[in-house]
């Protein structure tokens, strides 16, 4: 009986507490309704998209664009590979030696230039400058060797070319600049 007695004595406080709890719950319910209605509006706008397009059609369009870009990337990759194959026989290495062909001449106007591919095929151009004129000779290089006898300057140019690469030559040019 003690519990009922305490309940009867504090019933006014209990009713006020329950009323306050109901008011708080009612306010929270109204806040939730307002937030849900705002969210529904934003969702409707999001799903509508521009010019009444649906989100689904927009996503489908983007997937088609991605598929197109992937196929184009594959084509570009194939084209780049073809370019690399086409460039293999091109000249990628060089060696240049300037020298004085005759003692009475100055300024190192004569030179030997060697141009080689990746597999050391190419040629050596030797330009000899004298007072009477300039004479130019070309010697073929196959796999790093010449069938003709090479002068010392031509051998040096061949050696420089065989020991060079495009990156080394570009680095050398940048250092000189």
Distance CA 155, CA 135 (A): 18
Mean pLDDT, to the nearest integer, of 73-101?
88
What pLDDT was estimated at residue 1? Answer: 52
Whether the pTM exceeds 0.75: the reply is: no
Residue 6 lies in a domain: no
Look at residues 85, 112, 128 and tell me which one is the last residue of a structural domain.
Answer: 85
One domain, residues 20 and 55: yes
Mean pLDDT, to the nearest integer, of 59-85?
91
What is the Cα gyration radius of the chain?
43
Q: What is the pLDDT of residues 12-71, one digit of tens each?
A: 777 888 899 999 999 999 999 999 999 998 887 776 666 555 667 777 889 999 999 999
CB-based contact 130:106 (threshold 8 Å): no
What pLDDT was estimated at residue 44? Answer: 78
Residue 124 lies in a domain: yes
Look at residues 32, 60, 85 and tell me which one is the last residue of a structural domain.
Answer: 85
One domain, residues 103 and 31: no
Q: Residue 169 — pLDDT band, cuts 50, 70, 90?
A: very low
Tell me the residue range of the domain where 170 lies. 93-176
One domain, residues 100 and 76: no
Q: What is the pLDDT of residues 119-151, one digit of tens each?
A: 888 999 999 888 788 889 999 999 888 888 888
Mean pLDDT, to the nearest integer, of 93-115?
83
Residue 103 lies in a domain: yes
Q: Provide the domain count of the chain.
A: 2
What pLDDT was estimated at residue 3? Answer: 61
Mean pLDDT, to the nearest integer, of 150-171?
77
One domain, residues 64 and 121: no
One domain, residues 57 and 131: no
DSSP string, 31-92: HHHHHHHHHHHHHHHHHH-GGG--HHHHHHHHHHHHHHHHHHHHHHHHHHHHHHHHHTTS--
One domain, residues 79 and 107: no
């Amino acid at each position: 009986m003690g519990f009922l007695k305490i309940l009867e004595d504090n019933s006014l406080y209990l009713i006020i507490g329950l009323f306050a709890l109901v008011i708080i719950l009612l306010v929270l319910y109204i806040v939730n309704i307002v937030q849900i209605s705002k969210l529904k509006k934003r969702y409707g706008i999001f799903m509508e998209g521009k010019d009444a397009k649906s989100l689904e059609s927009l996503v489908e369009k983007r997937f088609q664009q991605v598929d197109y870009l992937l196929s184009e990337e594959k084509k570009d990759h194939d084209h780049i590979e073809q370019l690399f194959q086409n460039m293999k026989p091109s000249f990628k290495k060089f060696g240049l030696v300037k020298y004085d062909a005759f003692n009475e001449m100055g300024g190192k106007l004569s030179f030997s230039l060697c141009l080689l591919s990746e597999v050391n095929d190419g040629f050596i151009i030797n330009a000899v400058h004298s007072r009477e004129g300039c004479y130019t000779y070309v010697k073929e290089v196959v796999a790093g060797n010449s069938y003709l006898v090479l002068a010392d300057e031509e051998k040096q140019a061949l050696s420089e070319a065989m020991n060079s690469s495009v990156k080394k030559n570009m680095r050398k040019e940048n250092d000189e600049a």
